[in-house]
Amino acid sequence: MKIFLIGYMGCGKSTKAKQLAHRLDCPVIDLDAEIVNKSGKTIAEFFEAYGESGFRTYESEMLKTFDYPSTSVVATGGGLPCFFDNMEWMNLNGQTVYLQMEPAALVSRLHNRQKRPLIKDLDDEQLLEFIKVKLKERDPFYTKAKLIVDAFDLDAEKLEEAISRNS
């Protein structure tokens, strides 16, 4: 089974994906890292060179063409479920889990904003407003996930249990 972790920047997708893969003894795939590997550009450089729409096309192709091991945990970029038919594709091809978190908690976890082009110039107050607006747009996509978990204080054991109950 492929498990796709989705959710807003800062909700802990990459960390939880690693911990979960460790518990399940299977490979972890971080799609942002795969984009960097394949394109030879950081995410910031990619946005600079091709704009957000170029990035969205590339990340969607990466999602759909990656050669996933039959059992794997996949950390997705925060915007990926909200473009093209990516959410439907993930629901058809695996178990989707939305790591949900309140905007204020996300702000306090997003320290390293420089590498994230959409929020790189925002202070805490601006970021809080930005996230509130973005979550309104994105929640209709994120909430199509087969499983929604509260990501605040979530540990990998609880996450594994929730997924196995839901599978």
Whose CA is closest to 99, among 27, 20, 1? 20
Whose CA is closest to 125, among 107, 102, 100, 106? 107
For strand 2-6 and strand 95-100, is the pairing parallel, antiparallel, or unpaired?
parallel
76, 35 contact by CB (below 8 A) = no
The residue from 118, 122, 147, 162 that contacts ligand S3P (CB under 6 A) is 118
Regarding 103 and contact with ligand S3P (CB under 6 A), the answer is no
Regarding 78 and contact with ligand S3P (CB under 6 A), the answer is yes
What residues contact 150, with CB distance under 8 A and at least 6 apart? Answer: 100, 101
Regarding 116 and contact with ligand S3P (CB under 6 A), the answer is yes
> Which span (16-24, 111-119, 124-132, 147-155) binds ligand S3P, by CB under 6 A?
111-119
Regarding 12 and contact with ligand S3P (CB under 6 A), the answer is no
Phi-psi domain of 159 (left: phi exceeds 0; alpha: psi -120 through 50; beta: other): alpha
> Which span (84-92, 115-123, 145-153, 158-166) binds ligand S3P, by CB under 6 A?
115-123
Binding mask 18-37 for ligand S3P (x = CB under 6 A): --------------x-----
Min dist. Cβ of residue 113 to ligand S3P (A)? 10
Amino acid at 41: K
Known binding residue 32? Answer is yes
Tokens linked to 63: 């999602």
Regarding 81 and contact with ligand S3P (CB under 6 A), the answer is no
Name the site residues for ligand S3P (rule: CB under 6 A). Answer: 9, 13, 32, 43, 77-79, 116-118
